[in-house]
Amino acid sequence: MPSYTDVQSAFLGELRHIAEAGTEISVRGSRTRETRARSLELIDVRERYVVLEGRRNNVFASIAESMWVLAGRNDLAYLTNYLPRAPEFSDDGVTWRAGYGPRLRSWNGLDQLAEVRRILAAELASRRAVITLFDPDRDFIQSRDIPCNNWLHFIARDGVLDLHVAARSTDIWWGFSGINAFEWTLLLEMMAFWLDQRPGRLVFFTSSMHLYERHFARAEQLLERSTTARASAGTRPAFATSWDAFSGEVQEWMRAERAMRTGSALADTDCQLSDPLLRSYARMIDVYWANRRGDPSGDIGARLAAVGDDRLIEAATEFISRTPPSEPPSGAGLPESSGA
């Protein structure tokens, strides 16, 4: 199993492996290059940002979608503001029926995050801290949206909490590097804090790691330019909110997001966020909407400086440099079920 320091290294390494060892297969009319039964591990889960020339990543969408999942939501009224193509992968144009949010936070009324935390808080050595995302009662149907990530398992040993993820299907371009690695490393960082453990490894297994034909040329160009991943050791705000305060903090983040999305600057929202990491993510959303509105570059620069995370600032700067205010953002975390 290959081991990678950070998400960017994993993306490059797995992309190269697909290019060198993948086999071609057509699934529902879409040509892909695929490796099967692929496992990998990520060591530094707080290094979750991908900033590579040619990847055209949308870090703002990764943040917005991850917070949407953690809030237990699956509505497109929110998500389409960051992923304009999201309705193309919806059965009803209103929700993602397989959105992870409700399945994580309200599976028939059960909050799986709360249950996992309760199990491990009672016995850290437990092997029963499992979250299920695939629902056989609902998912053996024809749909544009079937969950690709199916099973999460938290396991604590020697003061370190690991997260193991099993997926049926992983598009490395839009899925793994756009959202999956981001949202699950974020969840691991949070769960580790709630349990007073150090965040450990994210171990990711997928039955099919693949690249769609639409990304063949860009992948080849990216690999020609990128021989090594960039490591960064600068300032990193860390998650630091107790479980009891978490729901309120997420609600406050969502309130501030809505205010910014509808025209307010973060400074005018009376934002009461106390968590360092969630504050930095709210400041990123402030930058995003300031750029979309075409605010002066000096104003955007001041907002960027307030983010307090050099890697986030780098990712935001790369996005802004190639995305004029009038241009809608590109897809970052679109579901794979359109061709998986």
Q: 262 Cβ partners below 8 Å, 6+ apart?
A: none
- What distance in Å separates the CA atoms of residue 24 and residue 170, rounded to the nearest whole number? 15
DSSP H or E segment with residue 192: helix 181-194
- What distance in Å separates the CA atoms of residue 312 and residue 286, rounded to the nearest whole number? 13
Active-site residue, selected from the candidate residues 71, 113, 148, 260 = 148
Query: Are 170 and 148 contacting, i.e. CB atoms less than 8 angstroms apart?
Result: yes
Buried b / exposed e over 315-339, threshold 16 CB at 10 Å, is bbebbbeebeeeeebbbbbbbbbbb
Which ranges of 195-328 would DSSP assign to H, the alpha helix? 216-225, 243-261, 276-293, 297-305, 310-322
| Nearest partner of 59 among 253, 238, 264, 291, judged by Cα | 291
- What distance in Å separates the CA atoms of residue 190 and residue 212, rounded to the nearest whole number? 32
Q: Which two tokens stand for residue 75?
A: 């509505």
Catalytic residue at 148?
Answer: yes
* Backbone region of residue 49 per phi and psi (left: phi > 0; alpha: psi in -120 to 50; beta: other values): beta
Active-site residue set: 148
